[in-house]
Structure 1
Amino acid sequence: MWFLAGTFGGRAERTCTVPPGTPIAFPLVNSMGEPEDCAEFMRTARGSAALDGTAVDPDRYPGTSVTFEGVPGNAVTSYGGSHSVTACGLWVQLPAAEPGRRTLTISGFSGDFAVAVDYVLLVPEDRTV
């Protein structure tokens, strides 16, 4: 699975190379916190995505308990150690993209928080066959 990032709010344009034959996952909009934080976030969560101009449907994750390890100075918590939170959001999982240059547009919002990312995905041909 190849994970693509959203933003911490705002718009971004990115280009990346995705290994051939690798499924892709990304959030339209997501958050984490206490269960009641996710309930409020998901109440207004909306978003859309399109791969090469074709809309793709997101899956809705209203709240799942997760534990992750952070390193000091990381962008999510700023401090290291183990963190247990409730995670929620709108996510898309796609099968491996066809080789070539692909365009992916992602946008999402909840309340006054909004993200938008335009990706150029470069998928090389698999030459191992």
Structure 2
Amino acid sequence: MNTHTNSLKTCPVTRRRGLPTITRHCLGLALSMGLALLAATFVDTVQADNATPKVYGKTIGNWGHAWWQWAFNFPSAGNPILEDGNVDCSAGQSGEVWYLAGSFGSKAERTCTIKKGKAVFFPLLNGLYWTPLDPTIPEDCTDVLSCRTGVGESIDKITGWSCTVDNVPCVWFAQVVRAQSNARRFNIPPGSVATDFGYAPGVRKISISDGYWVMLNPLPPGEHTIHFTSASAAFPDFALDVTYHLTVSALKD
């Protein structure tokens, strides 16, 4: 594992490819509103069944599900969730959205390079529930309702989070969104990190992701630091604290 919608209604909003962005002249006004406004810009609505707008072709909830498939395609060795230090942020990536990994509740500091023009997507706190491969061996849930309820209750227990880009709160770049995915199949390939937790390889017929997500529009070329943390009452020892030192190259695909 690596929750009210409000907005600056008085501020003009511009739209690049993807998420809307508050115009620069409104930033000073927004900053003067302080921490109360930070809370007001936080999105706390469970998003399911494609009831929300698509960003880069998917809802935020379904991007969350795709994030889990990306992360669980790796074995433990070289898994982005478990890595520290210099890492390869291009591993397993494709398309216009690249994923960054959280952790399993520990501290990590990573350095890597990403290509210009890539949106960046990552979780602050997230979970995934799935139905069993073998119905006689219980796993997380048994049907869509129990999967959606179970993973939702686990994410409801978040007790705090933080997120900055170059020491500026993430909410000035993008909304922090609580979102569930559609019910989807989920593949655990042989050698996946999930097998280290006792799950047999194979395709689960039903799975649902839930979490708090950030989708950043492409960052300008140069050096950037993304830092995010979270904690959850569901896991007393869980203390996610991840820093990415990113170099955005001047080269595009």
Contact 1:39 1:63 in 2 (8 A): no
- Say whether the 8 Å CA contact 1:29–1:114 is kept in structure 2: no
Partner of 1:120: 245
Aligned partners of 1:35, 1:27: CA distance in 2, in Å? 18
Which string of whole-angstrom CA distances, capped at 9 and with x for unpartnered residues, describes residues 21-53 of structure 1? 111000011011222322222222242211101
Rounded Cα–Cα distance in structure 1 between residues aligned with 2:168 and 2:102: 19
Is the alpha carbon distance of 1:44 and 1:62 closer, same or farther for their aligned partners in structure 2, counting shifts above 3 Å? farther
In the aligned structure 2, how far is the partner of 1:7 from the partner of 1:47? Answer: 14
Q: 2:113 aligns with which of 6, 11, 17?
A: 17
Point out the structure with the larger strand share. Answer: 1
The match for 2:178 among 48, 55, 60 is 60
Q: Which amino acid aligns with 2:107?
A: R
Structure 1 runs of 4+ off > 6 angstroms? none
Residues 109 and 65 from structure 1, CA distance in 2 versus in 1: closer, same or farther, beyond 3 angstroms? farther
Map of 2:66 onto structure 1: none
Alignment match of 1:40 (pick from 140, 146, 153) = 153
State the Cα distance separating 1:108 from its structure 2 match: 1.5
User: Larger deviation: 56-65 or 45-54?
Assistant: 56-65
TM-score after normalising by structure 1: 0.87
Aligned residues: percent identity? Answer: 31
Number of paired residues?
Answer: 128
Q: RMSD across aligned C-alpha pairs, in angstroms? A: 2.0
CA distance in 2 between counterparts of 1:108 and 1:91 reads: 12
* Pairing 1:51–2:173 present: no
Cα offset for 1:62?
4.4
Higher helix share: 2
Q: Quick one: distance in 2 between partners of 1:108 and 1:120?
A: 19
Q: Does 1:70 align with 2:184?
A: no
Mark the structure with the bigger radius of gyration: 2
The CA distance in 1 between the partners of 2:220 and 2:208, in whole Å, is 34
Quick check: 2:115–2:252 contact (8 Å CA) kept in 1? no
Matched, 1:96 2:210: no
